[in-house]
Structure 1
């Protein structure tokens, strides 16, 4: 398996569903009770949070655009997620989400680069060549590739045809592969 050597100037970009929490393949995470952390998330992110300068979550949330949930509900889910991570010593610098429907005129959804550009505008020190995008879908990997990031695929039920730099089963495996 290839290794990536990082230092404290690197940024970790994470997809949400399927990377941080269990993904609902039949629908959407629409409440805090639907949100269940995946195994090894805390252990892996605890190791990596000490090494990366920033941790950014980028997530497509089309359920908002479909009216299945409200922005307040989504903000509450993200607040509770960040609070639980912070309780373990893991700081998420910001959660960016795309709420538009697929194919919208102003499409912010991955694989489009909009959320990455917004993150860099807010945190100008982000260098995409010193960033890793972790996801479980082809659009996550393509997002990272479009911006020049290293890419990591977390195995899931999703069929992905794009070849990432690294494939792992969870965030703890990723932490063990990276060279700090």
Structure 2
């Protein structure tokens, strides 16, 4: 079975709620965070399949369409490819935040579905997020969890300032 890294998108891969961008509803709103391409390339080179798992309630709320989201993800993948980094698949929940669906984080359905579809070993995989709901989704799926950024939570197994430092840690642990 294969090992995987599940990444939240907003706040882990790209800017959100910054002076430059509030929400990422169009490709022009997508700005990668520093060293993200390098981080994902490190994970790719260490044999991890990298997936994005993201709540995109803006679709259910009518702020964007699924077609617009696909364009955002296409730009993200194109920008990452400049660093030689690749994403295996992007999974997203398009439902409203209060819809009560199984796929929206903190639920773990997106991770379980990806694991089934790609033959992933959840026990040797990680979830990296910037909010407690990401960590809860990872815990529910039985993966190791890493929080990046400034949110305070005691649930995560590890904490790092950014995806790059988390990737260095993960790759050293997997050697």
TM superposition score normalised by structure 1: 0.87
Q: Across the two proteins, how many residue pairs are aligned to each other?
A: 170
- Out of 16, 22, 41, the position equivalent to 1:23 is 16
- Out of 93, 110, 114, the position equivalent to 1:115 is 110
**Structure 1 or 2: larger helix share?**
2
Given that 1:56 and 1:95 are in contact with CA atoms closer than 8 Å, whether structure 2 keeps it comes out as: yes
Given that 1:145 and 1:151 are in contact with CA atoms closer than 8 Å, whether structure 2 keeps it comes out as: yes
- Out of 140, 164, 170, the position equivalent to 1:172 is 164
Instruction: List, as ranges, runs of 4+ consecutive aligned residues in structure 1 with deviation greater than 3 Å.
Output: none
The farther-off stretch of 22-31 and 85-94 is 22-31
Given that 1:12 and 1:52 are in contact with CA atoms closer than 8 Å, whether structure 2 keeps it comes out as: no
TM superposition score normalised by structure 2: 0.90
Q: Which runs of 5+ in 2 are unaligned?
A: none
RMSD of the TM alignment (CA)? 1.8
Q: Which residue pairs with 1:83 in the alignment?
A: 78
**CA–CA distance in 1 between the matches of 2:132 and 2:154?**
6
Q: Which residue pairs with 2:127 in the alignment?
A: 133
**CA–CA distance in 1 between the matches of 2:144 and 2:30?**
27
Q: Which residue pairs with 1:145 in the alignment?
A: 139
Q: Which runs of 5+ in 1 are unaligned?
A: 1-7
**CA–CA distance in 1 between the matches of 2:92 and 2:29?**
18
1:102 aligns to what SS in structure 2? coil
